[in-house]
Structure 1
Amino acid sequence: MRLLAISGSGRRASTNTAMLRALSSAVQPDHQVTVYDRIGDLPIFSPDLEAKPLPRTVQDLADLIERSDGLIIASPEYVRGIPGGLKNAIDWFVSRKEIVDKPIVLMHASHRGDDMLAQLRMVLSTVSSRFSEAVFLRYGLMKMSPEEIAAFFETGKPRAELARFICRLAAHCSHCEPEADSL
């Protein structure tokens, strides 16, 4: 299973990005997690730019989404809301086909952020018919460096939780597959 893990942070030492990198190193060989941490490289969304060809950075992300079996999004909260870069990325895909039927789940690297998570859940359930609130994993990793986060996820319990999270996501992806007759 190919999974795309999107970090909603533009910060180089992001805790959410570090958590997603730890996830990518903890998966079993039959799963592959690609971490996308270039949210800040996307141009500001405009319907005028949706014509072909898309801006290269948007097309690259569209290709990654298209090739994935599911998405994991992890994001900080900025001023009690979705960071502008992540909302911008989602806006690019509202009228495109790549995200509509894609299984999407959330991870979160802070004990705070409930307002952002509520907004993100509402937005994602609007743009994807396969968003799952039930498959969710959260850690309080604020103030930890990326190296400390990597070390934290090398320990038994957190590493096992990551493995269970991936299994739950894989089951969600499998249960959401459209039946051949409905295609």
Structure 2
Amino acid sequence: MQTVRKKILAISGSTKKNSSNEAIIRFVANSLQEEADVQLFNSIDQLPHFNPDLDHEAPPAGVADFRRQIQEADGVLICTPEYVFSLPGSLKNALEWNVSTTNFSNKPVAIIVAAASGEKAMESLALILTTIEARLPEESKLLIKGVKGKINAQGEIQDAATIRQIEALTASFMRTINAANEIPTKYQM
């Protein structure tokens, strides 16, 4: 029996090119290359500021494309830094464009906050995703403190404990995705 490759949309909360968050996403993509296609959404900084007046049947083109990518994905991976004890504005803005939709309803999601500290960003991101009804098990949440000391200048994760934690999160995330495809939800009936 042939296994169907899963589609994962990865979102980096950092707008910095070659950020620690992108390095972690690349690591996850490489570890999943046999079973999933991981696509990085790299236009988070190009989404317009959320405006309820524009949130209708024909939203701005970039927003419509972003929403389509979420809908088509089997799961969404979010990896973000923490800015001033909160989420980066660009990530919060991207999520706000989905509040009026059911794009995240029962969608398997994994979150990684990779920052100096990160607790407040983790708390905020988990609350937002729970509010928009994402499927986010505890095992699919990871806080990586002191990330700058765990990734080298070439963007490679050097800390063995961090690698094990990411691998455990990735395994949990794939179990959630596979379970979501087997069990009908109230949105699939």
TM tier, smaller: 0.7 to 0.9
- Residue 174 of structure 2 aligns to which amino acid in structure 1? A
1:32, 1:146 → 2: CA distance? 25
**Match of residue 42, structure 2, among 37, 41, 49:** 37
1:11, 1:77 → 2: CA distance? 13
- The answer to whether the 8 Å contact 2:82/2:113 transfers is no
1:28, 1:7 → 2: CA distance? 19
- How many pairs does the alignment contain? 181
TM normalised by structure 1 equals: 0.85
Moved more, 157-166 or 50-59: 157-166
- The answer to whether the 8 Å contact 2:151/2:157 transfers is no
- The answer to whether the 8 Å contact 1:100/1:127 transfers is yes
The answer to whether the aligner puts 1:175 opposite 2:179 as a matched pair is yes
TM normalised by structure 2 equals: 0.82
Q: 1:129 Cα deviation (Å)?
A: 4.0
Match for residue 166 of structure 1?
A: 170
- The answer to whether the 8 Å contact 1:17/1:37 transfers is no
2:134, 2:78 → 1: CA distance? 16
* Runs (5+) with no aligned partner, structure 1: none
1:55, 1:5 → 2: CA distance? 21
Bigger relative CO (Cα 8 Å, ≥ 6 apart): 1
The answer to whether the aligner puts 1:70 opposite 2:75 as a matched pair is yes
Query: Structure 1 19/97 Cα, relative in aligned 2: closer, same or farther at 3 Å?
Result: same
Match for residue 28 of structure 1?
A: 33
Query: Structure 1 147/59 Cα, relative in aligned 2: closer, same or farther at 3 Å?
Result: farther
Map 1:108-119 onto structure 2 (within 5 A). 108-119=113-124
What is the alpha-carbon root mean square deviation over aligned residues? 2.5
Q: 1:5 Cα deviation (Å)?
A: 1.1
Q: 1:180 Cα deviation (Å)?
A: 4.1
- Structure 1 counterpart SS, 2:94: helix
- Structure 2 counterpart SS, 1:152: coil
1:132, 1:145 → 2: CA distance? 26
The answer to whether the aligner puts 1:47 opposite 2:52 as a matched pair is yes
1:146, 1:62 → 2: CA distance? 34
Q: 1:83 Cα deviation (Å)?
A: 1.1
Match for residue 148 of structure 2?
A: 142
Alpha-carbon deviations, 1:6-59, whole Å to 9, x = none? 101112232112211222122132211111232111000111111232211111
Match for residue 108 of structure 2?
A: 103
Match for residue 152 of structure 1?
A: 157
